[in-house]
A and B are shown apart, each in its own frame.
Chain A
Amino acid sequence: MEAHTPVSGGDRQALERSPLARLPDQIMKWGLLGVSVAVLALIAFFFIELIDQSSLAFNRFGVFGFVFHNRWIPSRLVFGAAAMLFGTAVTSAIALIIGVPVAVATALYLTELSPQRARVPLTILVDLLAAVPSVVYGLWGYLFLIPKLKPAEQWFADTFSFIPYVSGHVAGPSIFIAGLILAIMILPIVSAISREVISTVPSEHREAALALGATRWEMIRMAVLPYSRPGITGGAMLGLGRALGETIAVLLVIGDDPAISHFIFGQGYSLAAVIANEFGEGSNIPIYRSALLACGLVLFVLTLFVNGFARAYVLRGERRMFRHRGGHSGAIGGGEVEAAVGV
């Protein structure tokens, strides 16, 4: 190209890159696009396949019948998953009831009250709970927690036997212990999200409360908690999503009994646990396998719902914060926090 040729319409050509030079760019762009499309296609394919495989069981027992009938008798090839649904729901509820308040409390303590120097080490410790794999939680629950808590549980059942669902004989594995372990497992993520949310409360609201003569706790109650509520709720829902799908830890401590127990220290089952536990036997019998996969489908749909809801909530809180912070990528819905705690 001549250095001093003026660029007129006809000379425009000289400035364009040759098609060959543009090729790598195109490859990269379309290649990456292809990968992303493949990801989408994968998910769609999975969904369709799962529905297809479950159809045998749903046709035999009816969708409603399968999900809400409490009869799981593999020897007679009769399958109704109500007990599993019950177990999943109750253990997750216990996990939320115990885990969320503690998680929010730790979040408040770590962002508002703890001494500066202790903050980072303590935060790392709380996050470390997420690094423990599920099978180790199961092992610890089965070998340590169950035997250790049994006497206390029995005492509780005897002392408070007048409360419904509380009296009975404690065998060891129970719905309660499963719920407790789940609470410990969701604690890091709910705490991490809550911490993130709480730290984005604008200081002007905190200062307004303090300037009115509020104590530290009153300031938290007036300025921090109301503002954080949507975000913390979203975090709790993400924790719920995690609890619903937890398999191995629950499997090891819940007792694997396909019955709806009227006793909080009684045994039960969960959707995820039944699949993992009985897959060995069931995979060769078409109707059995289909029933297990149908449990998987119910679980999948349940978690999709809860997670979808949760993200809407977290996003709502995030949008409000965008206005105040002037936009900041990857805030709460972004991957950092959750990747760190391994969601």
Chain B
Amino acid sequence: MIPSDDHSKESTAVSTPNKTEQGSPAHEEAPDLSSLGAPKAEGEGHTIILDDLNAYYGKMQVLKHVTLTFPANEVTAIIGPSGSGKSTVVRCINRMHEEIPGAWAEGRVKLDELDVYDPEVDVTAVRRLIGMVFQKPNPFPTMSIFDNVAAGMRLTGTRGENLRERVHRALRAVGLWGEVKNRLDKPGIGLSGGQQQRLCIARTIAVEPEVILMDEPASALDPIATLKVEELIAELKQRYTIVIVTHNMQQAGRVSDTTAFMLDGELIEHAPTSELFTAPKDERTERYVTGKFG
């Protein structure tokens, strides 16, 4: 039951009928985040700071003294070979790690001033502030497109016109609106893989989080869908702090501002992306980014 870090080895087929993206140039829809309000100004964003984070499955330690800062309104990528602990790191940030029986973590994970692991903190409430997008698109199978996006908001009692507004805004923000506006009541799983993933992103941003965690969000998607998601990430970072786990170094190079390299549960190095790839300081980083292993 331990999630493997190397998702590229798992079957990445998404169980939907063979649909391709509805993309003719005239149909292309860019993400439109304007309705989500103004982008964050300097000093307005939210930072995540990991301070001596250790994570375990029972007695086995999978994260060792990880200390790392994810700057506000930036995209930070975490790269590394399978088993390096990169998925575990993000799962510790929104405390999903402990949902697995026997799994636990200690250390500090601070969202701005707040330590997420503070015993006084309500885990459920924190997860609303830290959203997560998973590797395999997972819209709720029994819900319509509308209900999927509305799911999180309904939990806090959002209803009626207000709810409808926010669902439409979220769909516009991810660039799905044109494709689905006439079939909002159709099942969410009827969409193609790429559309489903954007639906999941819409679902996540609909609850207005401060940070978005993405665990290999495009690894199950075809290249066109991948590009759309990456384009979306570039837009999203103006309003959210984004952490993205990826096994694809080119992707890290394309979307991220800062990159962190992990190996065997330890943070080896982290630096502005271009620097990490062109002039890594650690020998292990250099071996990984030049493809000598992993």
Determine direct contact between A and B, CB below 8 Å. Answer: yes
Could you tell me the distance between the alpha carbons of A222 and B134 in the complex, rounded to whole angstroms? 17
Q: B151: which A residues are within 8 A, CB to CB?
A: 209, 212, 222
User: Cβ of B250 < 8 Å from any Cβ of A?
Assistant: no
Chain B nearest CB from A323 CB (Å) reads: 5
Q: Are B127 and A222 in contact (CB under 8 A)?
A: no
Report whether A212 and B140 are in contact in the complex, using a CB–CB cutoff of 8 Å.
Answer: no
Tell me the bound Cα distance from A210 to B151 in angstroms. Answer: 11
Q: Does B26 contact A (CB under 8 A)?
A: no
Quick check: A208 and B140 within 8 Å, CB to CB? Answer: yes
**Residue in chain A with minimal CB distance to B156:** A213
Of all chain B residues, the one with the shortest Cβ separation from A216 is: B124
CB distance from A120 to the nearest CB of B (A): 14
Residue pair B96, A205 in contact (C-beta under 8 Å) = no
A 195-226 to B, binary, CB cutoff 8 A, 1 in contact else 0: 00000001011011111111100100011001
Which residues 65-120 in B have Cβ within 8 Å of A in the complex? Answer: 94, 96, 99, 101
Residues of B within 8 A of A210 (CB): 96, 99, 127
Given A212-B128, A212-B204, A213-B207, do A204 and B134 touch, yes or no (CB 8 Å)? Answer: yes
Contact with A along B133-157 (1 / 0, CB 8 A): 0101011111100000001100100
| B101, A213: Cβ atoms closer than 8 Å | no
Nearest B residue to A218, CB-CB: B155
- The answer on a CB contact under 8 Å between B138 and A204 is yes
Residues of A close to B138: CB separation below 8 A: 202, 204-205, 207-208
Q: How far is the CB of A232 from chain B (nearest CB, A)?
A: 13
Q: Give the bracket for the number of chain B residues in contact with chain A.
A: 20 to 34
State whether A223 touches B140 (Cβ < 8 A). yes
Q: A176: which B residues are within 8 A, CB to CB?
A: none
Contact with A along B146-186 (1 / 0, CB 8 A): 00000110010000000000000000000000000000000
Q: Which residues of A have CB within 8 Å of B200? A: 208
A116 within 8 A of B: yes
CB B240 to nearest CB in A, in angstroms, measures: 15
B10 CB to closest chain A CB (Å) equals 12
Q: Are B134 and A208 touching (Cβ within 8 A)? A: yes
Query: When the two chains form their complex, are residues A211 and B15 in contact, meaning their CB atoms are under 8 A apart?
Result: no
- Let me know if A324 is at the binding interface, CB within 8 A: yes
Whether the pair A324, B15 counts as a contact (CB closer than 8 A) is yes
B140 and A116 contacting across the interface, CB-CB below 8 Å: no
Other-chain residue from B11, B94, B101, B136 in contact with A204 (beta carbon distance below 8 A): B136
Please tell me if the beta carbons of B152 and A213 are within 8 angstroms of each other in the complex: yes
Q: Does B46 contact A (CB under 8 A)?
A: no
Chain B residues within CB distance 8 Å of chain A: 11, 15, 94, 96, 99, 101, 124-128, 131-132, 134, 136, 138-143, 151-152, 155, 200, 203-204, 207
- A-B CB contact pairs (8 Å), 24 listed: A116-B101, A204-B134, A204-B136, A207-B99, A208-B138, A208-B200, A210-B96, A210-B127, A211-B127, A211-B134, A212-B131, A212-B204, A212-B207, A213-B124, A213-B125, A213-B152, A214-B124, A215-B124, A222-B140, A222-B151, A226-B142, A227-B142, A323-B15, A324-B15
A interface residues with partner B (beta carbon < 8 Å): 116, 202, 204-205, 207-215, 218, 222-223, 226-227, 229, 323-324, 326
